[in-house]
Amino acid sequence: MTDPDDQFDEQFEGWLDRHRVEPLGPAPGAYERIARSARRRRTVRVTAVAAAVAVALTGATGVAYRIATGPGPVLPPGASASPTRSAPSSHESPSPSLEPPVSAESPSTSATSTTVQSTRCHTGELQVTAQGSPGGGAAGSVYHWLVFRNVSSRTCTLYGYPGVSWVTGPSGQQVNDPVQRMTDVTPVRVELAPQGVAHAVVRQGQPGAFEPQCHAVQVAGFRVYPPDETAAVFVPWATQACSAKGIDVGTVSPIVAGLNE
Partner 1 sequence: MHEDVRRDFFAANYARLAGWVRRQVDDDETAHDIAAEAFTRLLSRWSDSYDPHAYLYKVAVNLLRDHWRRSVRERRVLSLAAADQRDVPDGRPERGDDLRATLQLLPEHQRTALLLHYLAGFSVREVSAIVGRPEGTVKSDLFHAKARIRAELDGTDD
Residues near partner 1, by CB under 8 A: 8, 11-12, 15-16, 18-27, 30-31, 33-35, 37-39, 41-42, 45, 89, 91, 93, 95, 98-100, 102-103, 193, 195-197, 258-260
Beta bridge partners of 164: 224
Tell me how far apart the alpha carbons of residues 259 and 120 are, in angstroms, rounded to a whole number.
20
Distance in Å, CB of 16 to partner 1, minimum:
5
Our CB check for partner 1 shows the closer of 158 and 216 to be 158
Burial 222-234 (b: 16+ CB within 10 A, else e): bbbbbbbbeebbb
Cβ-contact 200, 162 below 8 angstroms = yes
Distance in Å, CB of 15 to partner 1, minimum:
6
Q: How far is CA 35 from the centre of its chain?
A: 13
Our CB check for partner 1 shows the closer of 95 and 171 to be 95
Distance in Å, CB of 144 to partner 1, minimum:
19
Distance in Å, CB of 42 to partner 1, minimum:
5
CB within 8 Å of 185: residues ≥ 6 apart:
253, 254
Distance in Å, CB of 80 to partner 1, minimum:
20
Distance in Å, CB of 244 to partner 1, minimum:
38
Our CB check for partner 1 shows the closer of 92 and 211 to be 92
Q: What amino acid is encoded at 78 in this protein?
A: G
Distance in Å, CB of 233 to partner 1, minimum:
20
Cα angle vertex 206, ends 211, 159, to 5°? 130
Cα angle vertex 51, ends 261, 78, to 5°? 75
Our CB check for partner 1 shows the closer of 17 and 184 to be 17
Our CB check for partner 1 shows the closer of 39 and 122 to be 39
Our CB check for partner 1 shows the closer of 194 and 208 to be 194
Q: Kind of pairing, strands 156-159 and 189-192?
A: antiparallel
Cβ-contact 200, 252 below 8 angstroms = yes
Q: Is 47 exposed, middle or buried (0-12, 13-18, 19+ CB in 10 A)?
A: buried
Our CB check for partner 1 shows the closer of 35 and 60 to be 35
